Structure 1
């Protein structure tokens, strides 16, 4: 099942893809919540029930809606750095033997088709295509054997990073959390439609049509089983939590000359079976609205 969160006429809605067509309802006419996070918190068969209820909903033209992040306010967004060896080699860091974790905040999120905003105080906006896992069942001290039972589905992320600010201190948080830099979507794809643990998927990032990153999710050093188990040693995972699993080599900052995103560019992240996340790049202006 492939779900899309959207806004139309200032109202949010939820759609399911059926034979290449979107069918969905706005919140005011839906018989259930149109917030994937709320549905996940209900547990059990709630997600499948909502999906089935949308199968006969009216068709929706993608051109008539604004795509939202699949989850607009997840309880936590946990990102993983240095999770592909080839990316670590192009970075100024040694390869760690423990996952490098940092937070993103929901205020940074935008959906498919929305603009990634290059901040006015920096010219170091970079791309990072990544696989997302969404937690469906919460827990702490989750065993490796049961880890994938806690995954509800998958999506795509562009962890657009303001490198100048990322490297101002040992902590990366600021450079990873500028408003309108966390592109997320377009689909939430349920785990039953994806290889276990998101294994063996081809990930490709393109800038203006040129391939800049290409890898398999098999290349992750800490796979999803390991990440869920390690994170839950310390942190209780909740339904709707998002784990952004890391980016492979090819980032613009590591190139000579550097290849950074600028106004007018189009960045696409494609992951096999999950779709294409496409976002234009614009410069920040004093009057630019904050996405919601």
Structure 2
């Protein structure tokens, strides 16, 4: 099932994407139901939404007419994994990690599909990073790798935008990673059952239609299961937490200095992931 959030009359509405258009869940049920509530309800919430698809008088919204919102509004944690593809570690001239490299973003960085991304002042080196995003569905503490995927609610497409001149001012990456709107995610939250094997998905990033990154999630050093297990042994993951799982080679940082052309206002960045969809944002 493909779920999404969209804006309507100053409210964030939960929707279901279908071949006929978008179903407004709250209107159909005549009650307020949020993405966070559905995630917390787990299998019971999904079963209720599937029953909703059989409603005899469904009405649909044309997807071209909606204004998207981030797939989750208030995650307790936004965790990111750095250097999770060997090729990306090599192009960044960094050691290949022996355990997941973790850093964080904050909720101010969330942005939606088609939302214009305002570039921060005083930064001249803005980069893209196409990433598979994991959405946690159940409280996870000290989870084994074998069981880790049972705690996944679904997946989305993300762009770990990075201000490289901020990022490398010190050994801590935070400043360059969590600028406002630097965590676009969407357009959909695709449930784990529909995605199937998240360890074998094509992932691509284009800038103004030019392919910059093209890889497969099977090339990740640490799988989704390994990441979830590792994180859960250091902090408790909560329903609605999101994890950016790392980016493949092809980022601007990996180019020779004389060929680094950093993102500029007007650039259109699109992240496409097999079975999930395409996340598109224009920089302003």
What is the TM-score normalised by the length of structure 2? Answer: 0.94
What residue number does 1:145 align with?
146
Partner SS for 1:75: coil
On the 8 A contact 2:20/2:60 being kept in 1, the answer is no
CA–CA separation in structure 2 for the residues paired with 1:7 and 1:47: 22
Q: Match for residue 281 of structure 2?
A: 279
Q: Which residue of 2 aligns with 1:43?
A: 42
| Distance in 1 between residues matched to 2:283 and 2:29, nearest whole Å | 34
Taking only aligned residues, the RMSD between alpha carbons, in angstroms, comes to 1.6
Query: Which residue of 2 is the match for residue 60 of structure 1?
Result: 61
2:120 corresponds to which residue?
A: 119
Q: Which runs of 5+ in 2 are unaligned?
A: none
Quote the residue 1:8 is aligned against: 8
Contact 1:78 1:104 in 2 (8 A): yes
State the alpha-carbon separation in 2 of the partners of residues 4 and 51 from structure 1: 15
User: What is the aligned partner in structure 2 of residue 95 from structure 1?
Assistant: 96
1:15–1:54 contact (8 Å) kept in structure 2: no
**Rounded Cα–Cα distance in structure 1 between residues aligned with 2:104 and 2:88:** 19
- In structure 2, relative to structure 1, the CA distance for the partners of 1:221 and 1:38 (3 Å cut) is same
Shift of 1:273: 0.8
Counterpart residue number, 2:261: 259
State the aligned residue count. Answer: 280
SS of alignment partner, residue 203 of structure 1: strand
* 2:235 aligned with 1:235: yes
Q: Distance in 1 between matches of 2:64 and 2:102?
A: 37
Q: Structure 1: any 5+ residue segments left out of the alignment?
A: 283-292
Shift of 1:33: 4.2
> Residue in 2 aligned with 1:72?
73
Does the Cα contact within 8 Å between 1:6 and 1:14 map onto a contact in 2? Answer: yes
